Structure 1
Amino acid sequence: MPRLRIERTDWPRPGLYLTDTPRPNCRDCDGHGIQEWDYGDDTGEYAGTDWAYCACWNPNGRWLFLPLPRKPLPRSGPDPWASNEPPF
């Protein structure tokens, strides 16, 4: 069963999305949603860290809950309200 939260995002379209979250009491990832492990080279020195998503979480699990309007694009050209004429 997914653990859902609400997230506001602009991609792929502006809206409020229901987003899956990692299981908080997962023994494999301690609720972080990813598993990390360090590895070394042939001499035993640190060479980097690998990671993988945990099975308790689907990072692509998002469903549009409420679409939001897009921001209007800025107009180009002169401002029709900018004038040096007096208001009377």
Structure 2
Amino acid sequence: MRLRIRYTAQPRPALVLTDTPRPRCPHCRGEGGHEHTSVTAEGEFDGIDWYPCPCWGEARRWSLLPLPRLPLRWRRDRHLYSDEPPF
């Protein structure tokens, strides 16, 4: 297992310890799986299927530290950007 710490916002903000794919895996080359484009019999695009590699356990994650939620006014103000010049 190759573990790393990541931030997650779902279902609640927290720092989690998660597994990562093997960097030298001969099957997925460190990407963690394979994408396969699906096409219908008429030749229409039907979506992309994801097949995880056995070298990586997507479900292996442990919550280390739950983080407090930001107050609503801070969350709302954070995404407001002005296109006005500073002068």
Q: Per the shorter chain, which TM-score range?
A: 0.5 to 0.7
Match in the other structure for 2:22: 23
RMSD over equivalenced CA pairs, Å: 2.5
Identity of aligned residues (%): 50
Question: How has the CA–CA distance of structure 1 residues 40 and 15 changed in structure 2, closer, same or farther, with 3 Å as cutoff?
Answer: closer
Does residue 1:57 correspond to 2:56, yes or no? yes
Q: Which runs of 5+ in 2 are unaligned?
A: 74-87
Higher normalized helix content (fraction of residues): 2
Match of 1:6, as an amino acid? I
CA offsets 1:16-66 (integer angstroms, 9 cap, x no match): 111111011111100100124567777xx8x77644100001112211011
Q: TM-score, normalised by structure 2?
A: 0.64
Change (3 A) 1:14 1:41: closer
**For the structure 1 residues 69 and 38, does the alpha-carbon distance in structure 2 shift closer, same or farther, using more than 3 Å as the test?**
closer
Paired residues in the alignment total 72
TM-score (norm 1): 0.63
